[in-house]
Amino acid sequence: MEKHGRLRSALILVGLTLALFAAQALMMAGTLSHMAGAGEALALSALFALVYGGAMAAFVHLERPTHGTLLLAGVMAAMAMLARVNMLDYVTADYDSFLSGWLDIFREGGFAMLAENVGDYNLIYQYILLGLSKVPLYGLYTIKWVSVAFDYALALVMMRAAGRFAGERAKVPVFLLVLLLPTVLLDGACWSQCDAIYVFFIVLSLYLLATDRPGRSAASLAVAFAFKLQTIFFFPVVLLGLIHRRYKLRDALVFFAVYLLTLAPALIAGKPLTEALAVYANQSMGQYYDRLTYNAPNLYLFFPMLEFASTQEFSWMRYIEGIDAKGQNAYLNADLMPDLQNAALYACIVLTLLVVVYWLVHYREVTPDMTLAFALFFAIFLPFVMPKIHERYFYLADMLSILYAAGRADRRFVPLLVVGASLMSYVPYLMRQRPIDARVLSLMMLAALLLVGRDLLVRMRENRAALAKGGEAA
């Protein structure tokens, strides 16, 4: 009987995958601008169908769903894939100005170019670009394919994490929610960004830590850090894990060993070790000097901006005849903005140290079962107070807020604040318009931060009382 059930699940999965493959191929052949013929459409459709089929096979293996659940999840996941395919032709300035050029460099120079400074992404993503440069399909589509693959991988690991933090009933809804979440759809399939990749490894690290596999958790976190510097938003959780001895010295060694291993291909190609280690220093110091925030819904939306038209309180003036939309703010100049950025950074460091020291002083009251709330707090707090933050840097907060809400019925509105603010902050870049005053988005993110912070403080007070009572009993 069990064998018959597995066979039926396999037939449902194969049928859905083949149907998606056919639908995608027709859509690609009829709508995509860079399809040379039916052969390319079939090849590209096969790549995306492979992602879908692999993800759904993993879903079946991990969850053993009923046939009805599998059919529902499969149809919804297929619709999510079709939505992504429909966005493949969308080109942003990031692709035109950076990614396409980096692909061309790897296409012409091959493996040897890993020794050069190609772009400002860390090396592991450059390895992906090197591999994609060998694929005889349009570069924009293959870059988005990688991002979409990790959309589905992220949905799977979020499903597992939801089971750990919120219970079995939350797993399938979280899986489907992540696939259909607007910020996830836009970030990869539309924007061709890779935020789903490093957040996948962070959520995996969190899940492995929660299930008492610290070595694997450290290895996963090292891979996340090898993809994106924004992994530092999760580092306070590592500190908490070290204090509670959930991480040990050998796990720190695993982290550094795995990170150094990610440098190996570039070192083999001839890149000096110092340059390989300095990617993030160059990335953070060598660019972005004209604003305190780049559409991120954080504290600095209340500060003046260098470009006059971007100043929130006067944005309506861009529509007045005779006003230069790219004119400079009369109160700022290009020389002053770096000083403001540095001042904001120093203030951010001091504030962060004060918050971290507070948690360290009260570390006994921050118990391991508070790890998710602790992680969410810092995933919002750090990009909220740091200058030069982009809108996409709240991506980790989007995911953790979903897990947090899945486990607390009284906090179901937290993702509405976090994801809602993130989504609307994407609009100025992707659509070149501001449908809502960005300061409102900042207040939404602040409200979420204060709520999660309050929840932590309430739990700490309860734990403090329990500790005191235990001491009296002793």
What are 302-334's pLDDT values in tens digits? 876 655 444 544 444 444 455 455 555 555 666
Indicate whether 138 and 256 sit together in one domain: yes
Find which of 110-114, 202-206, 274-278 is predicted with most confidence, using mean pLDDT.
202-206
In terms of domains, do 414 and 390 share one? yes
In a domain, 254, yes or no: yes
Q: What is the pLDDT of residue 435?
A: 81
C-alpha to C-alpha distances, 451 to 191, 248, 289, nearest whole angstrom? 31, 32, 33
pLDDT at position 420 over 90: yes
The mean pLDDT of the chain is 89
Q: Is 298 left (phi over 0), alpha (psi -120 to 50) or beta?
A: beta
Boundary (domain end) residue, out of 67, 86, 105: 86
User: In this predicted structure, what is the pLDDT of residue 319?
Assistant: 47
Non-local CB neighbours of 337 within 8 Å, separated by 6+ positions: 289, 290, 291, 292, 306
Amino acid identity of residue 368, one-letter, is P
Q: Is the pLDDT of residue 294 over 90?
A: no
Q: Dump pLDDT digits (tens) for 166-204.
A: 999 999 999 999 999 999 999 999 999 999 999 999 999
Residue 109 has pLDDT above 60, yes or no: yes
- Give the integer Cα–Cα distance in Å for 451 and 470: 29
pLDDT of 157 strictly over 50: yes
* pLDDT for 4: 72
In a domain, 271, yes or no: no
Whether 283 is covered by a domain: the verdict is no
Which of 1-5, 25-29, 100-104, 290-294 has the weakest average pLDDT? 1-5
In a domain, 375, yes or no: yes
| Residues 309 and 364 both lie in one domain | yes
- Indicate the range of 115-124, 233-242, 371-380, 415-424 predicted with least confidence: 115-124
The pTM assigned to this predicted structure is 0.93
Residue 179 token pair: 């696939």
- The answer to which of 100-109, 333-342, 445-454 has the lowest mean pLDDT is 333-342
Does residue 473 register a pLDDT over 50? no
Closest to 160 in 3D by CA, of 209, 96, 109 = 209
Query: 44 lies in which domain range?
Result: 1-86
The rounded percent of the chain whose pLDDT value lies above 70 is 90
Task: Determine the 3-state secondary structure of 24 from DSSP.
Answer: helix
Confidence check: pLDDT of 44 > 60: yes
- Domain assignment of residue 284, yes or no: no
Residue 431: predicted pLDDT: 83
Decide which of 357 and 215 is more confident: 215
Q: What is the Cα 184 distance to its own chain's centre?
A: 8
Query: Are 300 and 256 in the same domain?
Result: no
pLDDT at 1: 47
The DSSP result for 113-129, as a single string, is GGGS--SSS-HHHHHHH
Ramachandran quadrant class, 183 (left: phi over 0; alpha: psi -120 to 50; beta: rest): alpha
Looking at the structure of the chain, the number of domains it has is 3
181 and 126 fall within a common domain: yes
Average pLDDT over residues 139-149: 97
| 278 in any annotated domain | no
Within-domain flag for 279 = no
Residue 207 and residue 80 in one domain: no
The confidence score (pLDDT) of residue 326 equals: 57
- CA contacts within 13 A on the Cβ side of 110: 1
Residue 306 placed within a domain:
yes
For 362, phi and psi rounded to 5 degrees?
-105, 30
> Does 122 share its domain with 55?
no
Residue 5 clears pLDDT 90, i.e. is over it: no
Bigger pLDDT: 292 or 48? 48
pLDDT tens digits for range 334-345: 677 788 888 888
CA angle centred on 154, ends 151 and 159, rounded to 5° = 130
Domain co-membership, 338 together with 219: no
Domain boundary among 42, 66, 86: 86
* Confidence band for 299, pLDDT divided at 50, 70 and 90: very high
| 75 and 201 fall within a common domain | no
Q: Which two tokens stand for residue 309?
A: 């038209």
Tell which of 197, 230, 265 closes a domain: 265
Same domain (yes/no): 109, 78:
no
Shared domain for 97 and 80, answered yes or no, is: no
Please check whether residues 72 and 137 belong to one and the same domain. Answer: no
